[in-house]
Structure 1
Amino acid sequence: MNPKERLYKVLKGEKVDRPPCICPGGMMNMIVEDVMDIEDVKWPKAHIDSKMMADLTQGMYKNNGFENFGVPFCMTVEAEGMGADVYMGTKNTEPRVTQYPIESVADWKNLNKIDVNKGRAKVVIDAIKILKERNEEVPIIANLTGPISLASSLLEPMIYYKEIRRKNQQAHEFMEFVTENLIEFGKAQLQAGADVLTISDPSGTGEILGAKTFNEFAIPYLNKIIDTLKSYAPGGTIIHICGRLKSIYKELNTLHSDAISFDSITSAKQVIENVPNKVIMGNISTFALENSDKESLEVMCNSCLNSGVDILSPACGIGVRTKLENINVLVECAKNHKR
């Protein structure tokens, strides 16, 4: 069973020989300095060059890393396309938003629409086309920043969180606009040849929003993206939510994605018990992945796998200084785990 077949089957709830080991990309960055050095393809240039982007994600797999290709390597592509100023970072720091394009949810009509034929959106799409042409038996993962995380990258987050209550109607109009743009970018990635769609919404947590607001501002827009794009994603769909999930287990069951991915602060066993209708992905601490020795990582990975996760993965975006040999440990643990 090759990596693409294995991930497809897992996301459909079918039996496989052993769990896949993936890191989707996007907010869940999968690139480390070791791979940049081996492949001689480095940030920040790889963020703006489609061939370099494709070569870099392929380099992770070539060097016994994660069993997928995933682009881009940050969560600023959509925000930049909609008008935010972005600093492209360095070899060991990710791009970040440096200036928000609007000052209130009421200003959403001043935002740009994402043009998938221009800028870094086009770089990502062209990178997917290159990977598709190489015809590897490896799943290509398209990535979207979640709607709340994108909204709070276009507007100062504290203002956003206050105005979803104070300017509720305009906040929903803003979210509709954000969601439509995400759908266009996601559709373009999938039509370019991506197999699986991952949406990562680190700012849309139950801890920040509370269950009621999560149900009002996260669930409907995440589900709208999934419902619109699932027919374009032959391999399936994944949603990643950060923070403690205990307060929103009920709401997570209403997500329309095939799989749920989550932070290391949340117990995989508890998620399995409380979210029974989802494929479970996770959730190795990225701090541990960067700082622990091989033996400690093996214990963590085997504990995670024995708890019943379906897909072994880091719990968030990995640190760029994480050693490739530590990533190799995750992959080997997944390969040696029999179902």
Structure 2
Amino acid sequence: MVDFDCTYDNSAGINKEVTRKTNLQFPEAYKHWESMVLLAQELKKHDHTSFCTLPFCHTVEGEAMGGIINYGDENIGPRAGDYICTTPEEILGLPKIDYSKGRIAEVLKACHYLREKGENVVLYVSGPFTIMNVLMDSRHVFKALKKQPEAMKEIFIKFQDEIMCFVTAAQKSGVNMLCYADPSGGLNVLGPKYAEQVVELFTYPLLKGIEEILNDETMMLLCPKTTLALLGTDRAVWKDINLGVPIKYAEACIEVIGQAKFVGQMCIKNNHYKLKNGVIKTLSLC
């Protein structure tokens, strides 16, 4: 297994120049679908991309489970606040996400509105360690990973169910590109042994389930860290699609919706990455 050298870390796209232009009030702007729409459209213009992205952080799922969030300001987006759990058992006791209320519902409303206006929409979906990072100090997370493997398996099952529900709700809202990443649980953080276990226990079963529910109008963009973990454990193989002309990676992803369920050779945040030979590598699960 090899790692991908990520230069974007936990960034989800907040830009000071953009937030200052909007004249929105922060942090309230991060909480309501109308202001989310405006921010997403302005970020699209600023970054010269062919899609809008939501949300502007990696805390939505954790908050919807009861996590405490520091909503930030116009300079920095929402991030984890005080932790509410210290044990795996406490995480397992958290309520299921209600997609009809709270900020997660506002995100889905914003996605629906943007799609109705003809925009391509990328919705960020967080992996288990990134969600846990909102709920529990990482010291307790990695202690549980080593000392309470059965409890961690139960947490993985709980989070698989939640992410599947999120993907289903997003698809109903019209989202055509989901972007899955777990920056808090990469090979560089977990090490080879645990990274391989996470693929076997969580990532691969999750993506196999998502593969079943994705329709021909939706695809999943994988963080290259996730892609390389799947390839390194022989859980996926590359499948090339030749688009015939040089094309930006992001635009190529849009082009192959309906032809592939998964892509993941480059970070979607790399706006300048171009496929000079016109070939995009899609991913087929084994």
TM-score range, shorter chain: 0.7 to 0.9
Q: Distance in 2 between matches of 1:64 and 1:281?
A: 17
Describe the shift of the 1:63–1:213 C-alpha distance in structure 2 as closer, same or farther (beyond 3 A). Answer: closer
Question: 1:138-160, CA deviations, whole angstroms, 9 ceiling, x for partnerless residues?
Answer: x2112211122212322211111
Q: 1:258, 1:102 → 2: CA distance? A: 42
TM-score, length of structure 2 as denominator length:
0.75
Say yes or no: does 1:82 pair with 2:65: yes
Distance 1:76 1:284, change over 3 A: closer
Q: Residue 177 and residue 88 in structure 1: after superposition, are their counterparts in 2 closer, same or farther (change >3 A)?
A: same
Q: How many residues align?
A: 250
Matching residue within 110, 113, 116 for 1:130: 113
Superimposed CA distance per residue, residues 260-319 of structure 1 (whole angstroms, 9 cap, x where no aligned partner) = xxxxxxxxxxxxxxxxx965114888xxx9xxxxxxxxxxx57x75699959xxxxxxxx
- Give deviations 1:57-113, integer Å, cap 9, x for gaps: 112234562221111100111111111111100110121111222111132332121
**Paired residue secondary structure (2:202):** helix
Contact 1:84–1:154 under 8 Å retained in 2: yes
| Secondary structure class of the residue paired with 1:280 | coil
> Is 1:115 the counterpart of 2:115 in the alignment?
no
Q: Choose which of 63, 78, 89 in structure 2 pairs with 1:106.
A: 89
User: Contact 2:199–2:230 (CA<8 Å) still a contact in 1?
Assistant: no
For 1:257 and 1:199, locate their aligned partners in 2 and report how far apart those are by CA, in whole Å. 18
Amino acid at match of 1:108: I
SS at match of 1:99: coil
- Partner residue of 1:57? 40
- Cα distance 1:69–1:210, how it changes in 2: closer, same or farther (>3 A)? same
Residue type at the aligned position of 2:53:
G
Question: Alignment partner of 1:80: what SS?
Answer: helix
Distance (whole Å) between structure 2 residues aligned to residue 188 and residue 26 of structure 1: 26
The letter for the 2-side match of 1:118 is K
* Separation in structure 2 between the aligned mates of residue 95 and residue 76 of structure 1, nearest angstrom: 7
**1-structure distance, mates of 2:239, 2:35:** 31
1:222 maps to 2:207: no
Unpaired segments ≥5 residues, structure 1: 1-24, 260-276, 290-300, 312-339
Alpha-carbon distance in structure 2 between the residues aligned to 1:56 and 1:206:
32
Residues in 2 aligned to 1:26 and 1:46: alpha-carbon distance in whole angstroms: 23
Identity rate, percent: 22
Could you say which residue in structure 1 is the equivalent of 2:257? none
Q: Quick check: 1:280 aligned with 2:265?
A: yes
Select 1:204's aligned residue among 163, 179, 185: 185
Give the match's secondary structure for 1:281.
coil
CA gap of 1:28–1:223, structure 2 versus 1, over 3 A, is farther
Does the alignment pair 1:96 with 2:79?
yes
Alpha-carbon shift at residue 163 of structure 1 (Å): 1.2
Residues in 2 aligned to 1:254 and 1:102: alpha-carbon distance in whole angstroms: 33
Equivalent of 2:13 in 30, 34, 49: 30
Contact 1:103 1:156 in 2 (8 A): yes
Q: Tell me the distance in 2 between the aligned counterparts of 1:58 and 1:284.
A: 15
CA–CA separation in structure 1 for the residues paired with 2:121 and 2:159: 24
Give the CA RMSD over aligned residues: 3.3
Alignment correspondent of 1:180: 161
Q: Which of 55, 70, 78 is the equivalent residue of 2:53? A: 70
> Aligned AA for 1:61?
K
Report the TM-score, using the length of structure 1 for normalisation.
0.64
Tell me the equivalent position of 1:232. Answer: 214
Paired letter, 1:147: P
The aligned counterpart of 1:46 is 29
8 Å CA contact retained: 2:127, 2:180: yes
- Judging changes above 3 Å, is the alpha-carbon distance between structure 1 residues 64 and 279 closer, same or farther for their aligned structure 2 residues? closer
2: CA distance, partners of 1:133 / 1:26: 31
| Contact 1:147–1:182 under 8 Å retained in 2 | no
Separation in structure 1 between the aligned mates of residue 9 and residue 174 of structure 2, nearest angstrom:
16
Q: 1:154 pairs with 126, 135, 138, which one?
A: 135
Distance 1:232 1:242, change over 3 A: closer
Q: Give the counterpart letter for 2:266 in structure 1.
A: M
Structure 2: distance between partners of 1:107 and 1:255:
34
Point out where structure 2 has 5 or more consecutive residues left out of the alignment.
1-7, 241-261, 282-286
> Alpha carbons of 1:47 and 1:283: their partners in 2 closer, same or farther (altered >3 Å)?
closer
8 A Cα contact 1:281 1:310, kept in partner: no
1:203 partner SS: helix
Residue 249 of structure 1 and its aligned partner are, at CA, apart by 7.5
